[in-house]
């Protein structure tokens, strides 16, 4: 267990260092040597987790989707939650900012940036498909077109917010985006129940952190309990199927 925890910490350290270097230097100018210096790890440790600079970039991309949000009774609410939480994380998490920066880096000619958009489009498509099956969408809605339109709209909104004020107003801008976007695709009765308030992301993330801490505390109790001792069970953090509201955190092999 201790070895696996070290591997998780090492991988995270490497990703954070790569994100910082990519953000400062751009993907093309960034070097593995700079990332090693920033991370303070050996070359062997880095290559245990990532085989190349491109794999590092993909790892940074995946951080966009690395939080499982609580499931909701409405799939459109989960779609909204995904966008609001992404806006919040863009303001507060360097790794997420770097992932978006890489995806939009026009100078990264040797990096395939399509996976960053493809992952998000696929997750939106899944949630919109489920929403349509549940009768939450208006009959005319084309799920594939809507998923791509939402990703493109969000990308433009976050870029404008970044240029205007370093994304300080991004959550409010995303709320405005949903206020204009949702009425064109949503059944009125469902629309009336959706929560698109500016502070919703903060509340959701606080819930995720509380549940995560509870799960860690239970695991620690189980690990430290004498053999044969019964430890009360506590519900684990909800497992949410892959989708914008519930991507699972990528697993990490034990090792370096």
Structure confidence at residue 247 (pLDDT) = 38
Q: Which CATH number do you get for residue 154?
A: 1.10.357.10
Domain-embedded: residue 142: yes
Structure confidence at residue 193 (pLDDT) = 98
Domain-embedded: residue 209: no
Nearest C-alpha neighbor of 40 from the set 68, 75, 16: 16
Domain-embedded: residue 113: yes
Domain-embedded: residue 134: yes
Domain-embedded: residue 86: yes
- Provide φ and ψ at 53, rounded to 5°: -65, -35
Structure confidence at residue 167 (pLDDT) = 94
Structure confidence at residue 110 (pLDDT) = 75
Domain-embedded: residue 50: no
Q: What separation in angstroms does the CA of 23 have from each of 15, 19, 96, 173, 252?
A: 12, 6, 11, 23, 24
Structure confidence at residue 107 (pLDDT) = 72
d(CA 124, CA 148): 8
pLDDT lower than 50: segments of the chain: 231-256
Domain-embedded: residue 5: no
Domain-embedded: residue 23: no
The structure tokens listed for 73 are: 């009774």
Task: Tally the domains of the chain.
Answer: 1
d(CA 202, CA 112): 32
Domain region containing 118: 67-204
Structure confidence at residue 226 (pLDDT) = 62
Distance of CA 33 to the CA centre of its chain: 27
pTM of the entire structure? Answer: 0.77
Nearest C-alpha neighbor of 80 from the set 195, 224, 3: 195
d(CA 161, CA 198): 15
Nearest C-alpha neighbor of 101 from the set 20, 170, 16, 178: 20
Crossing angle (nearest 10°) for helices 143-165 and 75-92: 20
């Amino acid at each position: 267990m201790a070895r696996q925890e070290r591997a998780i910490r090492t991988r995270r350290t490497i990703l954070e260092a790569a994100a910082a270097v990519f953000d400062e230097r751009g993907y093309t100018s960034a070097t593995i040597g700079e990332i090693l210096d920033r991370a303070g790890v050996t070359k062997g440790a880095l290559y245990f987790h990532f085989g190349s600079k491109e794999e590092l970039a993909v790892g940074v991309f995946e951080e966009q989707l690395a939080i499982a949000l609580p499931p909701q009774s409405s799939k459109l609410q989960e779609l909204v939650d995904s966008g609001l939480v992404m806006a919040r994380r863009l303001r507060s998490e360097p790794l997420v900012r770097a992932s978006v920066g890489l995806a939009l880096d026009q100078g990264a000619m040797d990096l395939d940036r399509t996976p960053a958009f493809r992952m998000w489009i696929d997750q939106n498509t899944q949630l919109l498909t489920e929403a349509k099956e549940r009768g939450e969408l208006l009959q005319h809605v084309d799920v594939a077109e809507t998923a791509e339109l939402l990703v493109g709209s969000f990308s433009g909104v976050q870029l404008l917010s970044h240029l205007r004020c370093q994304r300080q107003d991004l959550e409010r801008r995303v709320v405005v985006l949903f206020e204009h976007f949702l009425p064109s695709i949503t059944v009125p009765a469902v629309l009336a129940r959706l929560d698109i308030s500016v502070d919703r992301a903060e509340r959701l993330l606080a819930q995720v952190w509380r549940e995560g801490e509870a799960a860690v505390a239970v695991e620690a109790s189980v690990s430290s309990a004498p053999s044969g001792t019964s430890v009360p069970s506590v519900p684990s953090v909800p497992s949410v199927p892959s989708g914008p509201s519930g991507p699972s955190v990528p697993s990490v092999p034990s090792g370096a």
